[in-house]
Structure formats: structure tokens, C-alpha cells
Amino acid sequence: MNITFLGTSSGVPTLTRNVSSLALKLSQTAEVWLFDCGEGTQHQIMKSNIKSSQIKKIFITHMHGDHIYGLPGLLATLGLSGNSNGIEIYGPSELRSFVIAALKNSYCKLSFPLRFIEVEGIASLNKVLFESDKIEVRCAPLKHRLPAYGYRVSEKDKPGIFDIKKAKDLQIPPGPIYSELQSGKTVELKDGRSLNGKEFCGPPRKGESFVYCTDTVFSESAVNLSKNADLLVHESTFSKEDEKMAYEKLHSTTIMAAKTALLSNAKKLIITHFSPRYTQRSPIKPSDLLKEAQKIFPNTYLAKDFLTAEIK
Ligand SMILES: [Zn+2]
Ligand SMILES: [Zn+2]
């Protein structure tokens, strides 16, 4: 799996950073899942290597405009282009009425079905939000000025690498039998041999996990959601110098984001959602934010628009 940042500014867009959105490309299907959809996200998608027709699910963290104002526009465009066959939207319960009102009052009738899934109850009970045979999504409440939710996407463990040489050496004819063996099944060959797939596979490979936490002040719930994640994307609106403001506005400092990564034993942290006050010309620069976080969690990176990162 990999992610692409489509917006990394907090609250308002700047010339170099749009408001929040991130695209997750799944590795086992050709799907793209979007996390947040600030205003202008559809332009960012056009400038990136993401195909909007591949968007199947959209996860919204909370109802602040910098995370949702791009949603009606994106949906309307997908409707006009006719290249979506349905989208599931996960988020707070108010999201449904916001989207439906925006579409209805602008006389927009979508050509594909929308399905809304409210996350409040699922987050508070720590239940699974979505599950397939390959992937699982969970969510958890964060601490912000209004209800906000973090999301975790975990791939299930994948079968070990198939030993093609061994199969060829045993003169097993290539074809669908190989994928059956790879999935660990026992296969009967036409010549009467019975083969155990497990003997042709290496050890199972650990599935990758990705966590997205924004907007929030430091929260135990974010730490729990991020346990042992391969990649944690956490907001870092403020520098440690501006901690007072972070507590007032219920956003994170670099220190809080890094502490979340450290306490959860995440492997890698990317900080995002920066206050527009930090520019190349301000006393505290984005590179200073990175240094602050790296002092606590060395494997930290700084998000920028269009940055793509592998989960592992
Ligand atoms: Zn925000
Ligand atoms: Zn917010």
C-alpha cells in the first residue's frame, strides 16, 4: 500500500499546501481510499497520479470545513464523468445531511449510489468498521473541538512467497494450480499426486498497517489505535513553542505527534496539517517542526503536498 498527500495545511490553503486530504492506494485491489476531502481536493487529484475513478471509499475525520468542503464538488464531478459505480462514505453522522443538502440544493443528481456509514457507535465500542478477506478498518475517537475520529487500515497477513522453482522441479504444470498451492490448499494432480500448498510457501508475510490521526490534541485513544503501525500519519499543527495554542484549539504539537508514535511503537511517523504561520520566512520553519519531532521519534518525516510514501 502507499499514500499520497493531497493537502497538508491546517485550516486554510496556502500557495504550496492545500487543506486536508490523503489518498491510500491499496496493493491487493485497484482501489483508492480517500481520507478527508478539503476544498480543492479534486484539483489536487488531477495534479497527482491518483485516478478519481478508482475511489471507492472516503473516510472523513470530522466536520470542520478544511476536511469536508471538497466532498460535494468531487462527488458532482464523478457523477458528471460517469466513471464511478458507487462510493461508501464513512464519517460522523452529520456528514450525510451536509452532503445530501449540498447536492440537493445545487440540483445535482448523482449517477451512482452513495452509501453513508456513521462511525460514532463503532468507534466508541471499538468494533471493526469494515472487513474483507484481505483488509480490516478500525476507527477511534480523537480529542478535538468537535467529535473527530482516527482511522486504521490493516492488511491481513499475506501468504508466504511461492517457491516456483520447487514447483517446476516437481514438474507441476503451471496454471491455476500454482495459485491454489500459494493459498495453502492441498491440491490433487491428474497423475494422482497430492500436494500440500503449505510446503511450497515461505513464512506468512505480515500485512501492512496505516493509521491516520487528525485533528486532535495528544490522546491515549490515538496511541491505542496506532499500536505497532507501520506508518502513522499524525497532525502536527503547532511547534512545541506554541503548545498553549495547541491546548486551546485542541490540536497537536510536534512533540505530541512524536510521543504518540513513540508510545504506540509505530515504525514510521509523517507529520502533517501544519499551521500556515510556519513558512520558509517565519522564525519557526517547517524544517524546525521536523527537527522537534525527530528529537523524540527519529523516524519522522515531514508531509508536503503530492508526497507519496510506501507504508513499509
Ligand atoms: Zn483541520
Ligand atoms: Zn478540525
Judgement on whether residues 241 and 117 belong to the same structural domain of the protein? yes
Q: Write b or e for each residue in 251-277: b if 16 or more Cβ atoms lie within 10 A of its Cβ, otherwise e.
A: bbbbbbbbbbbebbebebbbbbbbbbe
**What are the residues facing 187 on neighbouring strands?**
195
Q: 199 alpha carbon to ligand 2 midpoint, in Å?
A: 51
Residue 216 contacts residue 144 (beta carbons within 8 Å): yes
**Mean pLDDT, to the nearest integer, of 101-120?**
97
**Count of domains in the chain?**
2
pLDDT at 213: 98
Judgement on whether residues 221 and 125 belong to the same structural domain of the protein? yes
- Number of the ligand closest to the Cα of 11: 1
Q: What CATH number did the domain enclosing 79 receive?
A: 3.60.15.10
**Mean pLDDT, to the nearest integer, of 71-99?**
96
Judgement on whether residues 50 and 168 belong to the same structural domain of the protein? no
**Mean pLDDT, to the nearest integer, of 81-87?**
92
Q: What is the pLDDT confidence band of residue 159, given thresholds at 50, 70 and 90?
A: confident
**Mean pLDDT, to the nearest integer, of 291-296?**
98
- Which of 36, 66, 230, 305 is an active site residue? 66
pTM: 0.92
Q: What is the pLDDT confidence band of residue 185, given thresholds at 50, 70 and 90?
A: confident
Question: What's the burial of 213, exposed, middle or buried (CB within 10 Å: 0-12/13-18/19+)?
Answer: buried
pLDDT at 179: 84
H/E stretch holding 224 reads helix 220-225
Q: 62 alpha carbon to ligand 1 midpoint, in Å?
A: 8
Judgement on whether residues 102 and 49 belong to the same structural domain of the protein? yes
Q: Which of 200, 222, 256 is the last residue of a domain?
A: 200
**Mean pLDDT, to the nearest integer, of 147-152?**
98
Q: What is the pLDDT confidence band of residue 189, given thresholds at 50, 70 and 90?
A: confident
Judgement on whether residues 262 and 183 belong to the same structural domain of the protein? no
Q: Which of 200, 226, 251 is the last residue of a domain?
A: 200
- Number of the ligand closest to the Cα of 36: 1
Judgement on whether residues 274 and 251 belong to the same structural domain of the protein? yes
Q: 159 alpha carbon to ligand 1 midpoint, in Å?
A: 38
Judgement on whether residues 145 and 129 belong to the same structural domain of the protein? yes
Q: Which tens digit of pLDDT belongs to each residue from 191-231?
A: 889 999 888 888 888 999 999 999 999 999 999 999 999 99
Q: Which of 172, 200, 228 is the last residue of a domain?
A: 200
Domain coverage including residue 137? 2-158+205-310
pLDDT at 92: 98
288 is catalytic: no
Q: What is the pLDDT confidence band of residue 27, given thresholds at 50, 70 and 90?
A: confident
Distance, CA of 55 to CA of 33 (rounded, Å): 6
Distance, CA of 259 to CA of 235 (rounded, Å): 12
- Number of the ligand closest to the Cα of 20: 1
Q: What is the pLDDT confidence band of residue 277, given thresholds at 50, 70 and 90?
A: very high
Above 90 in pLDDT, residue 176? no
Q: Which tens digit of pLDDT belongs to each residue from 252-267?
A: 999 999 999 999 999 9
Judgement on whether residues 26 and 79 belong to the same structural domain of the protein? yes
- Number of the ligand closest to the Cα of 250: 2
Judgement on whether residues 46 and 126 belong to the same structural domain of the protein? yes
Determine the distance from the C-alpha atom of residue 82 to the mean position of all C-alpha atoms in its chain, rounded to a whole number: 25
Q: 275 alpha carbon to ligand 1 midpoint, in Å?
A: 9
Judgement on whether residues 153 and 169 belong to the same structural domain of the protein? no
Q: 148 alpha carbon to ligand 2 midpoint, in Å?
A: 8
**Mean pLDDT, to the nearest integer, of 45-59?**
97
pLDDT at 184: 80
Judgement on whether residues 151 and 184 belong to the same structural domain of the protein? no
Judgement on whether residues 119 and 256 belong to the same structural domain of the protein? yes
Q: 179 alpha carbon to ligand 1 midpoint, in Å?
A: 45
